[in-house]
Chains A and B, each alone.
Chain A
Amino acid sequence: MGLPLFSAAEDPGPNFVRFAEVSGLLTTPEQAIDAPHATTVVALRYGDGVVMVGDRQATAGYIASRDVRKIEAADAYTAIAISGSAARGMEFIRLAQLSFEHYQKMTDADLTLEGKANYLSPIVQRNNLSSPLVVVPLLAGWDPTRREGRIFEYDGAGGCYERRDFATIGSGTPFAESALRLGFRTELTREEALDLAALAIYEAGDNDPSTGGPDFVRGIFPMVVTIDAAGFAELPTDDVRARYEAINERRTQAQGIAGGTLR
């Protein structure tokens, strides 16, 4: 590729996806391909930010991978999570990361969190209308002007909706969402939010065949991240392991019966 120069009328501006389409860098597949799928991520607001937890399993009729990272930092204050086709989801995350940075370099200004959320809508739409429901993302971030954590969820057609409480994506949604509905309060502390989100993924892993729970044998645990005024941070494995050991212990004490674990 040579130097990508455009006339003023045809210039795609700081929008990387538009530029990539004009220059043929991105192509849209004609139909869905049966490839590994990634599942179940939750995002939850608490007093000072957002907690996100995602399981690590990719499924394609069998367990295709046990250590997929479905949550990534899109930039220092924004996290993006994906469910659906693992391949398209990874591309989606790369595109989002690149797009936000591209915009910043081109204009010497940061996109607002709402700007980032709206930017993803047509990409979801482009992905899903040509090949049904391949990728559904979840965007969470710290809004520096409002000084609060915010969560944006999407429907398959690209609709973007802000959630003031919590949001779930992926096949484990019914189970994870139920746990969140029972345990959520406004003004949760960071610790309470972390435990509740971890439990939600535990329940999804327990009941949904496509969602992976904590894997004590391999030492692979759901990914846990927080986004607050200090930015995106991933919890260390030991911390996550301790939380899942606590849940597992309670569940063992209750002889495997789920009721009563939500305290």
Chain B
Amino acid sequence: MSNYFYVSPEQLIKDRAEFAQKGIARGRAIVATIYDVGIVLVAENQSASLNKISEIYDRIAFAGVGKYNEFDRLREAGIRWADSTGFTYSREDVDVRALANYYAQHLGDMFTEGPKPLEVEILVAQLGGSVRPTKLYRVAYEGTIADEPHFAVVGGDADAIRAHLAESEQEVHDLATTLRNAVAALAGPDREISVPDLEVAVLEDRGGRRTFLRLTDEQVAELLGP
């Protein structure tokens, strides 16, 4: 006969939160910042093929930190949700707030009821247009959702990066300045991140329907300057 031990709800939540935080803190952070004509997403990523940043829909991008298999499944679910919503209604009816809420619900459910909390944090960005506003949402491992007005940070060491950006991003800049600030914040005071270790994508109107664009190493190097 097995023995069951009483664990208080406070202790259970605390343990689960600690478990998830530990997993997320191991991963490098991701920054998304609004610039004058778009949104730039910047991640430190040694892999050139296992992406952390991805296109969800015409004006929506996704970024995830933590366990790759967990956030990649959420990314796929987001694309499926967006494509089927656009197919059922219209492309203009796909809104990032609904998507962020679904992510929050799922992460919240997994945190309280799942076999283990998901060790991920999600960032979704929407480039505003004639119908919808520009939005940045951050969804934490336990389902907390935050609406960020100018920049959002997820992942390990997010507080220090946020403090750094609060200083450098007091106003909206152009893409080059915004990218430099984001990379400086990700690197911190004591190190530099080389261009091949950066994964950068933007949401920007280029005359077409889709706005997501991955920047190549050459483009990133040119924007960062010498």
Which positions in A face B, CB cutoff 8 Å? 1-5, 11, 16, 19-20, 23, 25, 94, 98, 101-102, 105-106, 108
Contacts and interface: CB of A to CB of B under 8 A. Distances in A.
Contacts of B49: 108
Contacts of A23: 80, 84
B115 to A, nearest CB: 13
Nearest to B212: A105
Interface string B79-106: 1110111111000000000000011011
Nearest to B73: A5
Interface residues of B, number: 23
A1 to B, nearest CB: 7
A11 B74 CA distance: 12
A39 to B, nearest CB: 26
Nearest to B76: A106
B148 to A, nearest CB: 21
B55 interface: yes
B106 A106 contact: no
B79 A102 contact: yes
B87 A3 contact: no
Most buried by B among A2, A19, A94, A105: A105
Interface string B168-190: 00000000000000000000000
A98 B83 contact: yes
Contacts of A20: 84, 87
B108 to A, nearest CB: 12
B207 to A, nearest CB: 13
SS class, residues of chain B in contact with chain A: helix
A105 B81 contact: no
Nearest to A5: B77
B21 interface: no
B51 interface: yes
A53 to B, nearest CB: 25
29 contacts: A1-B81, A1-B84, A1-B85, A2-B102, A3-B74, A3-B78, A3-B103, A3-B105, A3-B106, A4-B84, A5-B74, A5-B106, A11-B76, A19-B84, A20-B84, A23-B80, A25-B87, A98-B83, A98-B86, A98-B87, A102-B80, A105-B54, A105-B55, A105-B79, A105-B83, A106-B79, A108-B49, A108-B51, A108-B54
Nearest to A95: B87
Contacts of A1: 81, 84-85
Scoring B78, B81, B84, B85 by chain A CB atoms within 10 A of each residue's CB, the highest score goes to B84
Interface of B: 49, 51, 54-56, 73-74, 76-81, 83-88, 102-103, 105-106
A2 B106 CA distance: 9
B56 A105 contact: yes
Nearest to B84: A25
Given A106-B76, A106-B79, A3 B84 contact: no
A98 B74 CA distance: 20
Contacts of B105: 2-3
A5 to B, nearest CB: 5
A11 B75 CA distance: 13
Greatest chain A CB density within 10 A among B76, B81, B103 is at B76
A249 to B, nearest CB: 38
Nearest to A20: B84
Given A1-B84, A2-B105, 18 more contacts: A1-B81, A1-B85, A3-B105, A3-B106, A4-B81, A4-B84, A5-B74, A23-B84, A25-B84, A25-B87, A98-B86, A98-B87, A102-B79, A105-B55, A105-B79, A106-B79, A108-B49, A108-B54
B93 to A, nearest CB: 12
Nearest to B82: A105
A11 B76 CA distance: 10
A1 B94 CA distance: 13
A108 B53 CA distance: 11
A88 B76 CA distance: 28
Contact of A94 (B76, B78, B85, B87): B87
Nearest to A104: B55
Contact of B80 (A19, A94, A101, A108): A19
Contacts of A16: 83
